[in-house]
Amino acid sequence: MRIGAAPLAAVRGLALALLALPVSLVLFVFSVVFFAVTFPIGFLLFPVVIAGVRSYAGARRRLAYTWFGVEIKDPYKPRPRFRRGLRGVFQRYRWAVADPATWRDVLWLFVDATVGFVLGLIAFVLPLYGPYGWVLAAGVWKPIVRSGGSEWYTFIHVMDQNSADNAALLGVVYTLIGLWLAPRLMRTSSLLTRGLLAPTRQRQLELRVAHLTESRSDALDTQAAELRRIERDLHDGAQARLVAMGMSLGAIEHLMDRDPEKARRLLAEARESSSKALTELRDLVRGIHPPVLAERGLGDAVRALAMASPLNTEVSVELPGRLEAPVESAAYFAVSEVLTNAAKHSGARRVWIDIRYEDDRLRIVITDDGHGGADASGGTGLRGIERRLGTFDGVLALSSPLGGPTMVTMELPCVLTAPGH
């Protein structure tokens, strides 16, 4: 556990406890509107209240990920296009009521207002209750006792310095337990939140089917675009040169006897064209599947990219074996695209690439020391990487605050096909 993590968890526990306090008001408003739904005002307000509950639940999902690393996906069914007027009101009501996530949100409100409040309060109070024993041992007990009062520190009745010292020792125990327990209580609270606010199993299957359908469509579009690019490159490059070579060879055939000198010049041009056509074909093949990737694997292929990059690039690879060829290819071109973006847009001087395989997942983290501000929706190629990884059920995460650094994290589920050398 990092130094300072426990006190930070205790402070966040207080924040969560304070956030749980207004939940009771939200529950009261929901209950009033729910029981008044048979009246026009309740019927009209119900979708509005549900929207507010969802907004608050969404904020807590994001908070669980930002503070405690617990990712909770959006569980709601897609929002339909509502009609105007009274029919639209009925549609909104039916959409809110028919979604199971609505009632799981309401249940979570009850849990957060009770269990969540208690967990947050304990995480904050217990580490602070320990030092109070030290304060008693420092002499605070004296004016209390002299004024005719009495002070209890849990089960210790503090009446003299000896009992105060015992309270101080017990305070050390409370502090250590509190600091150990605070992060775990907060993690438990977040997991409890995920248990209620995460998509149901059926919804997860629906989301996965939708994701696979979208990624399959993207893969088909990408494949079609790639085939068009290859066809265009062949037509405009190697094919054009080969046609020109054929015409030159035909002309040479007629000039061999009449003008040998001109025939030799045409032969030299044809030889140069054949060399350029071969180079273009090699570049085209390298763009489809680089030979170094096929022969040496992902690690050496990325090292080759790093050597060719204009940025000072460090590569760390921990791969116990070879991956499936399609996964290696997707990861290679994703890294290539990120390096290209870093060189063009980031203003960075150094890049760090970390590639490792663990828990049946390939994880690649690329960090640069540039000015930051990258945006996946800004047309920098990151959306293309997302589509490429999505074909293999992979994900991309971007962290790029203004001022840097920029960190791109990619994960792809995969299996090893061969042991490492």
Could you tell me whether strands 406-413 and 395-399 are parallel, antiparallel, or unpaired per DSSP bridges?
antiparallel
More confident residue, 378 or 175: 175
- Cβ-in-10-Å burial (0-12, 13-18, 19+) of 112 comes to buried
- Give the CATH number of the domain where residue 350 resides: 3.30.565.10
Within this chain, do residues 320 and 410 fall inside the same structural domain, yes or no? yes
Task: Please enumerate in sequence order all residues whose Cβ is within 8 A of that of 80, keeping only pairs 6 or more positions apart, or say none.
Answer: 91, 95
The H helix count followed by the E strand count for the chain is 15, 9
Token code pair at residue 89: 């009101």
CA distance 164 to 39: 62
Q: Please state the φ and ψ torsions of residue 375, each to the nearest 5 degrees.
A: -135, 125
d(CA 314, CA 300): 13
pLDDT at 355: 92
CB atoms near residue 334 (< 10 Å): 24
Residues 280 and 309 in one domain: no
Last residue of a domain, one of 288, 308, 338: 288
Task: Tell me: do 191 and 113 sit in the same domain.
Answer: yes
User: Among 69-83, 92-106, 133-147, 393-407, whose mean pLDDT is lowest?
Assistant: 69-83
Q: Do 71 and 152 share a structural domain?
A: yes
CATH for 283: 1.20.5
Q: What is the DSSP letter of 349?
A: S
Percent of the chain with pLDDT over 70: 84
Give the HSE-up count for residue 192: Cα atoms under 13 Å, Cβ half-sphere: 20
Confidence at residue 315, expressed as pLDDT on a 0 to 100 scale: 92
Looking at the structure, do residues 178 and 72 belong to the same domain, yes or no? Answer: yes
Residue that is last in its domain, among 259, 288, 317:
288
pLDDT band per the 50, 70, 90 thresholds, residue 249: confident
Place of tokens 């310095």: 161
Note whether 274 and 245 are within 8 A (CB): yes
Distance from C-alpha of 153 to C-alpha of 289, rounded to nearest angstrom: 71
**191 and 283 share one domain:** no
63 shares its domain with 188: yes
Residue 72: predicted pLDDT:
83
Q: What local confidence, expressed as pLDDT, does residue 39 receive?
A: 75
Q: pLDDT tier at 257 (50, 70, 90 boundaries)?
A: confident
Contact 125/29 with Cβ under 8 angstroms? no
Mean pLDDT of the region 74-97 = 77
* Residue-level pLDDT at 4: 56
Q: Which one has a higher pLDDT value, 161 or 380?
A: 161
pLDDT tens, position by position, 27-44: 888 888 877 777 777 777
348 is in which domain, residue-wise?
292-419
Please state the rounded mean pLDDT for residues 385-406.
Answer: 82
Report the 10 Å Cβ neighbour count for 324: 16
Contact 348, 342 (CB under 8 A): yes
Average pLDDT value for residue range 255-277 = 75
Same domain, 266 and 299: no
Residue 342: phi and psi, rounded to 5, are: -60, -40
Q: Give residue 421's pLDDT.
A: 46
The domain total for the chain is: 3
Mean pLDDT to the nearest integer, 86-92 = 76
| 154 torsion bin: left (phi>0), alpha (psi -120 to 50), beta (else) | left
Same domain, 129 and 97: yes
User: pLDDT higher for 285 or 290?
Assistant: 290
**Can you read off the two tokens belonging to residue 106?**
């309401």
Q: Are residues 279 and 315 in the same domain?
A: no
- Domain termination site, one of 167, 197, 227: 197
Low-confidence winner among 58-62, 94-98, 188-192, 328-332 (lowest mean pLDDT): 94-98
What kind and span of H or E run contains 323? strand 321-323
Regarding whether 302 and 250 lie in a shared domain, the answer is no
Structure confidence at residue 316 (pLDDT): 92
pLDDT at residue number 178: 87
161 in the same domain as 66 = yes
